[in-house]
Structures are given as structure tokens and as C-alpha cells.
Structure 1
């Protein structure tokens, strides 16, 4: 199995075929996933459709080393959390797969990174170690090769002045930031940006009251003077990202797919247009687990794009009694 072939997928048939190959590989080489499938009573030899592949609850990344190779992990990405017990850890055996995934995904949706000045406002991520988002954005900043690209922690006034100056000069700018920091900046200053993409990565991180997406985006649009807000959908447990160019409608790269499960029965699929739990296939996760059941609520649209509607209350999660594994 050649992981590089994942990034050359051209259609749904190729995606399904490769997904089944990855499932068999991970069932054989990933002890956690293997035991999970066995407890479900799944006969791996009889899994012949993508829809029959079991999805591992993402919570396993908090308590288990989810890895599908005997190679040593070269990098460990970790999520934010108030205690060690609620921090997810993603053991990455081949960092180059992550790099190829996010580089190819960015180029697919936004073109050549060298066409941008990338400004990053990610205080909550910069304040801790092990963030996969910081790793990705730092790589994009370096590859942009723009002298003004860079990170900003709390010096929003300096960032605001730079943003106004570069935008007025006609520079093509990507400002990527965590939601609470973008909202703070939008409320403190009045902008009328014409050459800047504002991209939020989600989350108030306990800094501000959570807002529904429509309200958040409306406030950011008003403050920055832009007509829409882009979004990045990713997480510690994934090596690929989905992107939205506005209105919270996300699209995935060809090696990533979202399915929606029934909230009462995690082994039944919802039709397009119906809301439910978000399951993700990320083939770049070949050396951890590519089939993950998340805690997000969402729905798929007819064209295969998807929306994120919120998150499960922990009490609402069904079918996770196998977490005692």
C-alpha cells in the first residue's frame, strides 16, 4: 500500500477501494482498532462496503495509543485540555504524510501558498506545546516566503496596523485565527479590508461565551469589513482539513470524507440533509486510525459538502460503552 496514492484519488470508486484496503491494514496492525472491531462482532473478511467499516470513537485518543505501525512515532500532537485525562494524543509515525496532506489540501482550495502573506492569530494554541494547527500554519508561513508573514500572540495593535497597511497596498492576505481572538480584534478596531481572507479555526477556548456560527461570523464580517468568513475544520486526531469559503459549508479534499450517523444508533447512517453525528474518513491517518466517530453534530448536503451544527452533550453520546476496552 502506497500512502502517496491517497493524494491521487480521482473519484468515489477509488476512494472506497482504498478505504477498504486501509481498513484491512488497520484491522491487522492497530491493536486498539482490532479489539474494538472484535468487540462489535465485526468479521473483517466480510466488510466489503465502505458503509460497513466500523468507526472508532474519537475519545480513544485520550486513553490509548492509537497507532497502526511498529515504527516509533516521530511526533505526538496533543489537544488542549484542562487536565491530562481529557487531552487527546495523536501519535504520528510519518510526519511527511501530514505535511503532504495539509499542503495539498491548502493548494486545492486556495492555490499557491506563495501568493499570500499569512498572518496567524492563534494565542491559545501558541501558549501550549504539541498543536498540530500551529505546526501546519508555521509551515505555511515559511513556505509563503513573504517577509511580513508571521504569528501574533497578544500584540493585536501591531497586527491591526500591519493588516491595514498590507491590505491598502493590495497585498493578498490570509488572516487565520482562533474565534475569540478574531472577535476581540473585530470589536476593538474598524476595518474595511478588500484583499484579505479572514479564516476562523473555531472555538472560544473558554475565553468568551460560545456563539452560534451565524452570530460569530456576522460580528467578524462587520468588524473587518468583509463579506464572508472562511473556516478551517480540523482536529488533533486528524491529519487532513476541510475548508469553508463562507456560510459554514465545508468541503473535503479527495482523500477525506464525512458521513453522518444516527444519534440514537451509531451503526445506522443518516441520509443527506438529515442531521446526526459526524464520522470522518481521513486516509492520511493510515498509520493511526482513518475511521473516526467525532463528537460533532452535522449534516451532509447533496453535493457532498457538510455543515457543523454543534457538539454532543456527553450524556447524548450513544454506543460508546465500548470505551472500557
Structure 2
């Protein structure tokens, strides 16, 4: 398939209400063949693993690259100078950042909007949003900044606003918007990185302030704390959000996404931690033993592997560094891998480095 044919096929596939295992498998194999043909580091890795379009017959056998490979290699099926967008992973100054290349954002945006409408908006067309994260002017290569800007554009009311400027979070501006929502009875949504909520909660505690937002209000957090704020255990974090804003924990939704894929996962709120996370029909998740690549039995802890058809220009099969367990309806996200699983991820990356740097 050509790039234009894949884009057209994907846009139609994403807009279906669902897909069978056979339909998913067929498209996954076609995208693997495309990536094998045009993404040379991935091709060399796949050959080293004995996996080619001739030998792979099921999406579960498509070789997954380790997430850290995005920092060391240009993983793109097209020339990077022709890309419409390049998303970069977060990192401290001086560290190498992973890059994800997009020849068009049409598929990425379609994936985001269809999923966000179903999982966060839940039947509401638009809601006033307060964004606790910098905008795309400040962070043009941030997939999260782009995600939040698209959320406002597609689903926010005209009164929606970004609450983070060059001097950081504007707490008083947030308070003013929350007070207005309380008084008007208009549902309100706060969205941002998990760590963005911590200084807001701390300041509310310092000032002994609480809000009781109208019914239908909701919160979306994502990304964890990443050393940007103090760490807060999930149970305490969502209890604090519910108490501070008067929003049920069922309406405190965590989004799990990453720069290295084009689709996000959501839960159904955080009444119980950890909640079950799941994605739309164009992404499938496995839990594997990173040393062998074999699937772990349901209910046993391993490393998450995501097969995201929307991530067509790079590699659709991604070995994360996140521990998880398959449960009915999706998976539990258990944090970063440790011990033998961490060693297994490192060995997989060593294999990738060795294979990708030599000619087949």
C-alpha cells in the first residue's frame, strides 16, 4: 500500500463503530508490510527477529520495538523534511528526546477526537475547559499540548482558556473561572498534566479553599508527576481532586498516552485504583514477558505492548516500559517496570541497537 492509500484506509477504519479481530489483523499486517518496506531500522530489527511480512500471519507476532529506540533512531517511513508535525518526548535539558514523525495529522487528530468524544465528553457536545498546561505556541513539539489544543477547539466553549503562561500556573485565574462556574451552574472541565494539579491543590489547601462545581463537571489528568511536582499516591490524589472541586471520583478520568503512539487510553473514572484502562478498536494491548516476547496469562503482571494502527508512519507495535496486567475489559497500568522486567526491556533495546545499526 502507498502512504496515501494507508491514510485513506485508516481514516475509514477509525470511523467504524467497531472492528472484528480479522479486520484488525488484516490491516495490522498491511501496515507492518508498509513499515517493513520503508522504515529501515525497523526492517533490520524485524529481520534479526525472523519476522517479515512473509512469515508474520497475526498481529500478535509483529515485532514490537522498545520505546527508547525513538531516542536513538529516526523511525519514519517517509523523509523527515516532509513531515507536517514532529512530536518530542518530555525530558530535562541536555537529554536526548524521542521523536515521532507525522506526514499528516489527519489520522492522529481523527484518532484523538473520536476517542475523546466517546470517553471524556460522554454525550456532551461542548464544555467550558480550563487547561493546566502550556499551549502549542510555548510547546510546539508537545503531543500533549497539541492534544489539549484540539480538545478545546473541537469540544470546548468559547470561554475555555489556557491557565499556564510564561510565569507558570495562574492560580488566581483558575480560581476566578471555578467561582464563575459555581455561580453559573455551567459544567466545567479541568484538563492537564497530573503534576499541574499538585500546586493548585496545595494552594487551595493553603488558602483553605474548596469548590463545588456543577453536576456534569469533570477532570482529566495525564502523564504522572515526572519529577515536576511531589509524588502523590493515586488513592490520595483522586480523593484530593474530588474533595477540592466537588467532583465525584467517577468523573476524575485519567488519560494514558505517549508521544510514541497516536492513540490514547482512558478509564471510567477513579472510584477504585487502579482503574481498568482501555482503548478504541484500532489499538490492541498485550502484556508480555520482555525476555521472551511471549504473552503473559491474563491476570499476571508483565510489560505492556501496544499495537496502534493509527501510528502508521513509524512503528505500530511498541514495547513500553510500563508494567501492567490484562483484566476483563482492558488492563491495569501498574507503573514503571522493575527487576527482571526492566532487565528484559534493556536487553530488547540492546538487540534493537545491534540489529538496526548493521545492514541486513
Q: TM-score, normalised by structure 1?
A: 0.91
Q: Summarize the alignment of residues 157-306 of structure 1 with structure 2, pairs less than 5 Å apart.
A: 157-189=172-204, 190-195=210-215, 196-228=217-249, 229-247=252-270, 248-263=275-290, 265-303=291-329, 305-306=330-331
- The question of whether the paired residues in 2 share the 8 Å contact of 1:115 and 1:172 is answered with no
Shift of residue 89, structure 1, vs aligned partner: 0.7
Give the aligned partner of residue 320 of structure 1: 349
- Residue among 132, 146, 162 paired with 1:151: 162
Partners of 2:211 and 2:343 lie apart in 1 by 42
Q: Which residue of 2 aligns with 1:92?
A: 102
Report the alpha carbon displacement of residue 219 of structure 1 after superposing the two structures with TM.
Answer: 2.3
Matched, 1:140 2:151: yes
1:167 and 1:300 mapped to 2: Cα distance? 40
Where 1:115 maps in the other structure, the secondary structure is coil
1:60 equivalent to 2:69? Answer: yes
- Tell me, in whole angstroms, the C-alpha distance in 2 between the residues paired with 1:210 and 1:297: 18
- Kept in 2, the 8 Å contact 1:62–1:85? The answer is no
Answer yes or no: is the 8 Å Cα contact 1:124–1:205 preserved in 2: no
**CA displacement, residues 4-44 of structure 1 (integer Å, 9 cap, x when unaligned):** 13302422221122112211221112112111101212243
User: 1:163 deviation in Å?
Assistant: 1.7
CA contact (8 A) 1:108 1:253 kept: no
Cα deviation code 1:16-75 (max 9, x no counterpart): 221122112211121121111012122431111122111011111111111123572111
Deviation at 1:165, TM superposition (A): 1.6
Cross-structure match for 2:90: 80
Among residues 103, 106, 111, which one is paired with 1:101 in the alignment? 111
Among candidates 21, 25, 29, match of residue 30 of structure 2: 21
**Kindly tell me: are residues 125 and 75 of structure 1, through their superposed partners in 2, closer, same or farther at Cα, counting changes over 3 Å?**
closer
> Aligned Cα RMSD in Å?
2.2
